[in-house]
Amino acid sequence: MLFTCDRNIIMFEIIIDERCTGCGKCRAVCPKGPRVFEIIDNRAVIKDARSCLNCATCQSFCPAGAIKIRW
């Protein structure tokens, strides 16, 4: 899944690929966790990309390596 956000003219994409197991680690470590991530059908999905701080903490902590942030 690809989510694009244009926040303060900084464009970035949050990509969650098929390796996602829905463990919820992304939501747990994200400073804005419940606003940004939601777990649906054992997969992480972006609830509100505008709330993302673009810090890449989710990418760093994802045990499956399923999250990529592209600037």
Strands (E) across the chain are located at 2-7, 10-16, 37-40, 43-46, 67-70
pLDDT band per the 50, 70, 90 thresholds, residue 6: low
Q: Which domain holds residue 45?
A: 2-70
Task: Give 44-54 pLDDT, tens digit per residue.
Answer: 999 998 899 88
Q: Is the pLDDT of residue 9 over 70?
A: no
Q: How many domains does the chain have?
A: 1
As beta bridge partners, residue 56 has none
Q: Is the pLDDT of residue 8 over 90?
A: no
* Residue owning tokens 């673009």: 54
pLDDT band per the 50, 70, 90 thresholds, residue 5: low
CATH code at 58? 3.30.70.20
Return the closest-CA partner of residue 67 out of 25, 32, 33: 25
